[in-house]
Structure 1
Amino acid sequence: MTWTEVPFLQALRDVSGGNPKVPKSEFRDSGVLPVIDQGQGILAGYVDDPDLAQRNDLPVIIFGDHTRCFKYIDFPFAVGADGVKILAVEDGFDSRYVFWFLVSLDIPSAGYSRHYKYLKDFSVAKPPLAEQKRIAAVLDQADALRAKRREAIALLDDLAQSIFLEMFGDPSVDSRGFEVRELETLIAEGDRINYGVVQPGRHVEGGIPLIRSGDLGRLGVDRSSLMRIAPDIESSYSRSRIAGNEILIGCVGAIGEVAIVSADDVGSNVARAVARVPVAGDVDREYLAAYLRMDFAQHYFTRELRTVAQPTLNIKQIKSAPVVFPPSHLRTKFAERVRSVTQQRAVHVTHLAALDELFTSLQHRAFSGALWDHGALDEAA
């Protein structure tokens, strides 16, 4: 099926002008009017002055001129001051259809430069309005399924912390009086917490796997796209080579992300942005990793960040991280309960990946004019 395509500026118009803009310094945690900026999240904060509301008819589509993020907004809001473009659809277009079309675009990255100039170069497919609404409805349904999976994953993430609080109380008020030890005291004898390879060079096919901070996750190390480095470079960093008794902590980029290494990771090395934490044999790694993911541990990491070129968590701060250390049988019990939660989380993550794949396929088929089986969504759910 071939559809008419129209230039971007015949499908959308920039209605950003004439709206008050709220600087970040004036954002509040609560208020009468939400603030929309160009960040990843829907809301950036609130303001209390209703006169700061943007003045266009709703809905509108927000485009982050620096971030390339799109947001569909159908409620009153104030505009963040930096890099926000407000777009309104022209007659003959369904706003939800146009939103999903824009989300599907591959906009080239120009760093923190502005990207609206690239957006204006695209053409917008224009099927009949009834078909636009059908496409939008199907994509809305698929995205709703993804949102439910993400919500379930978030609830499971919160559950681990709830289990800890139930068993051990809140460390911030020392409600149970358990021993608190610095992380450095939980390290395997004769070893130490350390960074990895500083200058890994270029990717080398068949080289030694290098674990970077972006490879860390709750399910362990994601080995699907590991960088590989030359053996002669890696050999100079034998001290950070994975032995199998470690947890890994992100120090730059994915700061505070924690992963437990598996047998598959043995022999790999880690990047400078990752701290290798070799755990003593009598310390349950699952307990320690789960503890370090808790809000109170993450808040410690955030407070201790140092900024030179970019925010960095230093080894000194990691060594000094306080760890609530209950008796062994309680740590084991906690780890078992968290293991069950992690297994459930893994199932939801797998389902979410399948839904993401389905959604991408539907986008491609929708905006290329292809037809699809309406039962596909029910089968994926």
Structure 2
Amino acid sequence: MWCLEMIISVTKKWMPWNIISFDLAVEDVTGGHPKLQKREYLQNGYFPVVDQGQDAIAGYTNNDEMVYDGSLPVILFGDHTRIFKYVNFPFVIGADGIKVLQAKKYFNTKFLYFYFKSLHIPSRGYSRHFKFLKEIKIPLPPLSEQRRIVEILDQADALRRKQAEAAAKADRILPALFIKMFGDPATNPMGWDVVKMQSLYAIPPNYGTMISPKFNDGEWLDLRVTNIQNGQLNLDDCKYINLPIEDIERHQVANGDLLLARAIGSASHIGKCIVAYPGKEKWAFDSHLMRVRFNQSLVYPEFVQNFLTSHGGRREFLKFTRQSAIQFNINTKEFNSIVVPLPPLNLQKFFLNHLNLFKSSRNQQSQRSQFFNQIFEILLQRAFSGELTAKWREAHMKELLAEMEAQAKAITDIDENEQLSLL
């Protein structure tokens, strides 16, 4: 039995919220609804498919019998990916490993969504994570305060999303410029000389070191596949090694080296690459990467990178990849055979100048995105500690007390009914 004297203690600056179990806050309504397998996703269609992946919409279907017929909105949780999604439109549940969660009547669904977003659920690899989510306790502010929190967080989230959209639009400029200047590599409409990749090297390509890296022990930064994200170097996750003297020449990264993912479990990530510029820092690379050092009197490495990420260049690259039972691969011999349309060096240089301007602009976009993300994270933490609405709470004290009392009674009734159902 809930005791109001225990859960409603008011001071001038702070009103503690009820803290309740996951089962009292959320109902798992996943069962009984059809799920669309990934192989059945369409690129276009009437009904969006939402699954546990990174994308808001994973695909489409035209089958109206697959549409989720429960009440909306709902929260989707990726049992493997730990991704939360707020869905307030007709949709189809995608593939496996997703939970559909319905908020109880004394919760605002979006408030719960934002609260879940503020959590850190530790990764257990590709195992199930819903069992960890069910263990959490959830704060229960009055509904009017929940709505106020959602209003503030919605505004911050909208700014964050607009900045992300601006960055995404900027990222589409460079591929368009590449095609405009050089044409589609698949058709070579400008009639450039066509050469094999192996004719462009300064030295033959090779794989990285097999030495196991550590977080803090080592003189050399060991670059790995995870450090290559969206065509850029990401050093959020750094590991280090001590590189033997006899291995330095073979496994050292120099300015202008192209580093390419040559063995990886994902078809979409095989071939992702960067052009590295370590300067005077000591960088090595691991065995899942291939180092390609080009003769820059023939080709700029940035031209090759953009060739490989263009649609036509990507198709050419994939012709030479292989799939084993556990991963996708390309070896140096296969990479040597890739055919590249080769425009004049001065035209490549012109493209490189535009690329450098673009990188400067993208860095500014990235800094703005990081700023908005940090602000949003701060607001999330303040929202669920009670700080965000402290002044608003003081101005609405009487109404909030009445709401909390009604909430406590509703929870007590539900708790008693559940106990009776077990008798």
Q: Common fold, TM-score beyond 0.5?
A: yes
Partner of 2:158: 144
Aligned ranges for residues 322-361 of structure 1 at < 5 Å? 322-361=339-378
Cα distance 1:279–1:251, how it changes in 2: closer, same or farther (>3 A)? same
Partner of 2:41: 27
Cα distance 1:324–1:146, how it changes in 2: closer, same or farther (>3 A)? farther
Task: Please tell me whether residue 215 in structure 1 is matched to residue 227 in structure 2.
Answer: yes
Partner amino acid for 1:273?
Answer: H
Aligned ranges for residues 269-308 of structure 1 at < 5 Å? 269-282=284-297, 283-308=299-324
Partner of 1:379: none
- Pairwise CA distance, 1:93: 1.0
Cα distance 1:373–1:323, how it changes in 2: closer, same or farther (>3 A)? farther
SS, match of residue 108 in structure 1: coil
Partner amino acid for 1:318?
Answer: F
Cα distance 1:16–1:372, how it changes in 2: closer, same or farther (>3 A)? closer
Partner of 1:230: 242
Counterpart-to-counterpart distance in 1, 2:381 and 2:88: 25
Partner amino acid for 2:255?
Answer: G
Partner of 1:205: 217
Partner amino acid for 1:277?
Answer: V
SS, match of residue 110 in structure 1: coil
**Structure 2 length-normalised TM:** 0.81
Unaligned runs of 5+ in 1: 375-381
Q: Identity, % of aligned pairs? A: 33
SS, match of residue 162 in structure 1: helix
For the Cα contact (< 8 Å) 2:213–2:240, is it kept in 1?
A: no
Partner amino acid for 2:258?
Answer: I
Cα distance 1:144–1:320, how it changes in 2: closer, same or farther (>3 A)? farther
Output the aligned Cα RMSD.
2.3
Partner of 1:378: none
Partner of 1:173: 187
- Pairwise CA distance, 1:245: 3.5
Task: Please tell me whether residue 368 in structure 1 is matched to residue 380 in structure 2.
Answer: no
Write out per-residue CA displacement over residues 90-138 of structure 1, whole angstroms, 9 at most, x where no aligned residue. 1111111111111111112222222211111011111121221222222
For the Cα contact (< 8 Å) 1:139–1:359, is it kept in 2?
A: yes
Partner of 1:11: 25
Write out per-residue CA displacement over residues 261-314 of structure 1, whole angstroms, 9 at most, x where no aligned residue. 214365421111211111213122333333333232233344443233222333
For the Cα contact (< 8 Å) 2:252–2:283, is it kept in 1?
A: yes
Give the counterpart of 1:250 among 234, 241, 261.
261
Counterpart-to-counterpart distance in 2, 1:302 and 1:372: 53
Partner amino acid for 1:122?
Answer: I
**Structure 1 length-normalised TM:** 0.90
Between 48-57 and 165-174, the greater mean CA deviation after superposition: 165-174
Task: Work out the number of aligned pairs and report it.
Answer: 371
SS, match of residue 291 in structure 2: strand
- Pairwise CA distance, 1:220: 5.2
Counterpart-to-counterpart distance in 2, 1:297 and 1:169: 11
Counterpart-to-counterpart distance in 2, 1:51 and 1:33: 10
Task: Please tell me whether residue 154 in structure 1 is matched to residue 168 in structure 2.
Answer: yes
Partner amino acid for 2:321?
Answer: L
For the Cα contact (< 8 Å) 1:212–1:273, is it kept in 2?
A: yes
Write out per-residue CA displacement over residues 225-258 of structure 1, whole angstroms, 9 at most, x where no aligned residue. 43111233x7435312123231212224443322
Greater than 4 Å deviation, 4+ residue runs: 217-220
